[in-house]
Structure 1
Amino acid sequence: MADVVLSERVAAAGLDDRVEVVSSGTGDWHVGDPMDRRAAALLTREGYDASAHRAQQVQRSWLDDCDLLLAMDRANLRDLRALGAKAGSVVDPERVRLFRDFDPLEPGTEVPDPYYGGDAGFRDVLAMVERTSDALIDALVRVV
């Protein structure tokens, strides 16, 4: 959901010529799959286009090539940092952070995985993603 929402916010802010949003997982178990049908349905109801999203696995090169990598939870944050360590590089903690470090209401908290819950969990996550994406856009406008 964050990929779809943030990509739309980047385009709406006129930053899509300078900011590229890429989404991935640290594991390979969903590569090539569309997003969860409940997440896609909610996004569609809220006016987003989730149809093009496909899961992919993070690439080691992104740790060097991307200006900012955002993890949804601490386990994925550790995985990203470990990926750099395996390659013998130190990952700048300012470039690899939690997505919700930018959340104006609850900075530094994790995005809960709504997969095993009901529809309310997806709505809660969408609200977190939207407000955090808005705050990210505000930060990006100042630096790009």
Structure 2
Amino acid sequence: MNYKAVKSVLFVCMGNICRSPSAEAVFRQKAQAEGLSLKVGSAGTVGAHVREKPDHRAQKVGVERGYSFKGIKARKVTVQDFDNFDLILAMDNANLAELHKIAPEHLQYKAKLFLDFADNHDEEEVPDPYYGGANGFRFVLDLVEDASDGLLKQLK
């Protein structure tokens, strides 16, 4: 894949209230700081939280690090997202498998694991912090920041 041609990125987790909106907020800000004009979004593989704002714990730790969640609301990923986004990044293997189930065959290549871009962590998946405490949300941000930096290196 020619990452320099990427103009849009969608981040995907299960419910679109913790990991993927955090990735959207972090990546959007980091891309803007680098002077990149990209379409950035997030979605979930299930629609249980459609139209809800991100989890208050995700927002709290994100805001503590200077990220904005303004305008981010949960939605379910669609087949059309594979036409609308150049790169679709799953937070874990289960959500990557769900993306591959709905992706048109000729667009399967767009779906990848987000942490494939991380340089400073060995984790392959961003763990779901939903049932844990604040430290889990902080660790998610650590991973998201690392992978965002790595992705931005590929895009520049």
1:63-103 per-residue CA deviation (whole Å, 9 max, x = no partner) reads 13321100001111011110025xxx34333x210000101
**Comparing both structures, which one devotes a greater share of its residues to strand?**
2
Runs (4+) off by over 4 Å: none
Distance (Å, rounded) in 1 between the aligned partners of 2:95 and 2:130: 16
Letter in 1 for 2:83: D
Superposition RMSD in Å: 1.5
Alignment partner of 1:15 is 2:31: no
Residue number in structure 1 paired with 2:18: none
TM-score of the two chains, using structure 2 as the length reference? 0.81
Counterpart residue type for residue 140 of structure 1: L
Unpaired runs of 5+ residues, structure 2, are 1-21
Q: Return the TM-score normalized by structure 1.
A: 0.87
Which has more radius of gyration?
Answer: 1
Match of 1:64 among 83, 98, 104: 83
Structure 1: stretches of 5+ with no match in the other structure? none
Pairs aligned (count):
135
1:1-144 to structure 2, matched below 5 A, reads: 1-16=22-37, 19-84=38-103, 89-93=105-109, 95-106=110-121, 109-141=124-156
SS of equivalent to 1:101: helix
Among the aligned pairs, what percent are the same residue? 39
The whole-number CA distance in structure 2 between the counterparts of 1:70 and 1:126 is 15
